[in-house]
Structures are given as C-alpha cells and as structure tokens.
Amino acid sequence: MIAVLNAMVLAASDWSYVAGAYIIVVGVLATYSAAVIIRGRKVGKQLPAKDRRWSSE
C-alpha cells in the first residue's frame, strides 16, 4: 500500500513539472506576442498613411 501511494506521489510530481513547463512556455509566448503587436502598432503610427500597405486609405 505504501509503495502504491509513493508511486502516486512521484507520478503527481512528474506531471506537475510538465504542467509547470507548459504554463511557462505559454506565458512566454503570450508575452512575446503581445510585445511584438504593441511594437508593430507603435511603429505603424509613425508611418504616413500612404506608406501603410495594410491600410486602404
């Protein structure tokens, strides 16, 4: 019985490392994506309207 409980605790701790790694990776990707979008919008505001290729103006 103790061996089964010990195995369950070890398995749970292994999965917690996996879940933690996924949370870190998703957080880093979301932060990077937000930074790129914010930087792009900031640079886009500096361009004249005629040089904005994505704009129909």
**Quick check: is 38 in a domain?**
yes
How confident is the model over 2-57, as pLDDT tens digits?
A: 777 677 676 767 777 888 899 999 999 999 999 999 998 898 888 887 777 765 55
* Cα 44 to Cα 56: distance, rounded to the nearest angstrom: 14
* Cα 47 to Cα 57: distance, rounded to the nearest angstrom: 13
Domain count for the chain: 1
**Quick check: is 36 in a domain?**
yes
**Quick check: is 41 in a domain?**
yes
Whether this prediction's pTM lies above 0.85 is answered by no
- Are 57 and 49 spatial neighbours (Cβ–Cβ below 8 Å)? yes
What domain range includes position 33? 20-45
Q: Is the dihedral of CA 41, 42, 44, 48 positive or negative?
A: positive
**Quick check: is 39 in a domain?**
yes
Question: Residue with structure tokens 């019985």?
Answer: 1
